[in-house]
Chains A and B, each alone.
Chain A
Amino acid sequence: MLLAVNPTATARATVGTLHNVQATSTTDQTETHAAAPVTARSRSWRRVFDDISRAAHQRQLWAHLGWQDVKQRYRRSVLGPLWITISMGVTATGLGLLYSTIFNMDASEYVPYMTVGFIIWYFISGCLISGTDVFIQNEGMIKQLPAPISIYVFRTVWREFLLFLHNLVIYFAILAIFQPDLKWTFFSVFPALLLLLVNAGWVVLLFGIVSTRFRDIPPVVSSFMQLLFFMSPIVWPMSALEANAGPRAWLAQINPIYHYVDIVRSPLLGSDQDLYHWLIVLAITVGGWALALLMMRNYRARVSYWV
């Protein structure tokens, strides 16, 4: 009657007499108790996709929570989330003027370049950092409510995207002020943003699961963020590195952030694009999702134990 699902349970069933003890106290229950289905195991791909699709259906919930997170930061301030835009504007103006002088570049070329880079960087670093504590932050809810874990991933990505949109306002100000000549390639920004979002998904999921188990990961990630920022061509232009470093410039190429920034930044500035950035990003997307889904398959059910 009581068919065990996995080998360990079978082994224990044959060893112990515990089940008989159990059966006497729950007599009428065992009569009607159906055999354990094989599909009920925790580690299955079906459960992974079930989790994701159920979370996608609860859009109202995570969209609301994500927006709530944004509002929460500026609670009781008069300008509210507008501060996100303002601080981006202040950074862009200040750093733009300073560094265009240092690099001896034309402000009309440098300021848009740096600002757009910054906006993309904020999104990437936001996803990396908040990804590491996506489940830790939501501990209370994970332990109280039987919601799919992907809900918290959606919530985080949605929040970071909303912050990104706030920062994007500055881009339109830049467009109005410096009027860079955009080409038809501008439209490739849409698939690029989509790719960025899709990547945010696996980053948050993967970093979330690993950090929930190993609590050293969040501080490791945040201590690397600053280094990663200075290593990425955001405040400095790639051309400056190529001019000075010569053959050693390839070192910058192994930084995946560079490729992500480039596929979004180039169309926004109307500059030339290379196909290989797209190919690298696509490859990382596929690999990253494969890894994240594998982790999710194996450890999805463990997250509620670990938080």
Chain B
Amino acid sequence: MVSIDVWNADVDFPIFDAKSRSMKKAVLGKTGGKIGTESKVPIIEALRDINLSLRHGDRVALVGHNGAGKSTLLRLLSGIYEPTRGSSRVEGKVAPVFDLGVGMDPEISGRENIIIRGLFLGMSRKQMEDRIDDIAEFTELENYLSMPLRTYSTGMRVRLALGVVTSIDPEILVLDEGIGAVDAEFLDKAKSRLNELVKRSGMLVFASHSDEFLAELCSTAIWMEKGRIKEHGPLREVLTHYKGKDPFENLSPQAKARMQQEQASTATIGSNEG
């Protein structure tokens, strides 16, 4: 059973190389977490009192200002950070995609990079070898795959990374923004693959500033502010409160219809659980 539970979780980062004296501006306006000064080592209070319970089928959008704790929350939900106080439990195979470049070695071939990246995302070598043809076709890199990665252009690297990421079968998919930097034609292709990936995965948590992307992939939303969950509810409602206006006014009718359909289905799931 795929699930993420978080109970009263705090995440505090100790900053060892900063002098506490110079960090005495206790609160930093809108950006950045609160900086505590009680102990000797300055602490960034990145997350405070997080309570969450996500189940199979949840498609959660994560919104908030820069430094509101979105990325930290994604890492908490992936199991990379364990809470400093409180507790969390993640059940299921997590595939976090924060940085498309991580685990990529410029000196080895594209093909080898595909396998390493897949191993990191919890796949076996055999599973990845079976998918190489599919990835080669999708990325349109075919012959280039035997070349070392350093010969690739930025766009080609993104293609490769996207190809690998969208070929896996994750139980929990955790996406951070920054999926871009490819030509428009390819992006369309990537979008449909991304959609398929989301459908395959048991759960999605997606942090992004793009309303369009969120509307397409998510049904509920979490609004983070200063390390706390400010609001958690249906996507449209939360986004309306966050932006101060309804972001979906100008959305195409098809997208609206699809969204309503999805929200209805998640509502029934919710009532069953309750």
Q: A26-B232, A144-B98 are in contact. Are A64 and B116 (CB under 8 A)?
A: yes
Give chain B nearest CB distance to A219 CB in angstroms. Answer: 15
Residue pair B274, A28 in contact (C-beta under 8 Å): yes
Do B96 and A29 touch across chains, with their CB atoms under 8 A apart? Answer: no
Which residues of the other chain, A, contact B115 by a CB distance below 8 angstroms?
A: 64
Q: Which residues of B contact A (CB under 8 A)?
A: 5, 7-8, 13-14, 16, 48-49, 51-53, 55, 75, 78-90, 94, 96, 98-99, 102-103, 105, 107-108, 115-116, 119-121, 124-125, 228-233, 270, 273-274
Contact of B87 among A5, A19, A304 (CB under 8 A): A5
Bound-state CA distance A266–B232 (Å) is: 67
Contact A2 B51 (CB under 8 A): yes
Contact B82 A32 (CB under 8 A): no
A241 in the interface (beta carbon within 8 A)? no
- Per the bound structure, the CA–CA distance linking A4 and B119 in Å amounts to 36
- Asked whether, in the complex, the Cβ of B86 is within 8 Å of the Cβ of A26, the reply is no
Which of B88, B89, B120 is in CB contact (< 8 Å) with A145?
A: B120
A56-103 with Cβ < 8 A to chain B: 58, 60-61, 64-65, 68, 72, 75
A140: CB under 8 A from chain B?
yes
A31 near B274: Cβ-Cβ < 8 Å? yes
Q: Evaluate contact between A34 and B5: CB separation under 8 angstroms.
A: yes
The reply on A246 being an interface residue by CB < 8 A is no
**8 cross-chain pairs, A with B, having the tightest CB-CB distances, nearest first:** A36-B7, A301-B82, A40-B87, A146-B79, A144-B102, A33-B53, A61-B119, A42-B82
B51 touches A29 (CB 8 A): yes
Q: Are A8 and B85 also in contact (CB < 8 A) when A29-B51, A29-B232 are?
A: yes
Min CB distance, B58 to chain A, in Å? 10
Cβ contact of B229, chosen from A4, A26, A31, cutoff 8 A: A26
Question: Is A33 a contact partner of B5 (Cβ separation < 8 A)?
Answer: yes
A168 to B51, CA, bound (A): 55
A positions within 8 Å CB-CB of B: 2-6, 8-9, 12-13, 18-19, 22-23, 25-26, 28-34, 36-37, 40-42, 58, 60-61, 64-65, 68, 72, 75, 140-147, 213, 215, 301, 304-306
Q: What residues on A are CB-neighbors of B270 within 8 Å?
A: 28
Known: A22-B49, A37-B87, A41-B87. A144 touches B99 (CB 8 A): yes
Provide the residues of chain A in CB contact with B49, threshold 8 Å: 18-19, 22
Beyond A143-B80, A144-B102, is A13–B52 a contact (Cβ under 8 Å)?
Answer: no
Q: Which residues of B contact A34 (CB under 8 A)?
A: 5, 53
Contact residue among B80, B108, B232 (Cβ-Cβ distance under 8 Å from A25): B232
Are A146 and B96 closer than 8 Å at their CB atoms?
yes
- Cβ A305 vs Cβ B107 within 8 A: no
* Apart from A25-B230, A72-B105, A146-B78, 9 more pairs, CB < 8 Å: A2-B8, A5-B87, A19-B49, A29-B53, A32-B55, A32-B274, A40-B87, A61-B119, A143-B80
Q: A5 contacts which chain B residues (CB < 8 A)? A: 7-8, 86-87
Closest CB of chain B to A282's CB: distance in Å? 34
CB distance from B211 to the nearest CB of A (A): 21
Contact partners of A13 in chain B: CB under 8 A: 8
Q: In this complex, which of A18, A30, A61, A144 has the most chain B Cβ atoms within 10 angstroms of its Cβ?
A: A144
Contact indicator A25/B233 (Cβ below 8 Å): yes
Which of A22, A60, A146 meets B51, CB within 8 Å?
A22
Q: Which residues of B contact A60 (CB under 8 A)?
A: 119, 124-125
A152 to B142, CA, bound (A): 32
Q: Which of A26, A141, A215 contacts B120 (CB 8 A)?
A: A141
B52 touches A4 (CB 8 A): no
CB distance from B271 to the nearest CB of A (A): 9
Q: Are B53 and A72 in contact (CB under 8 A)?
A: no
Q: Which residues of B contact A19 (CB under 8 A)?
A: 8, 49, 51
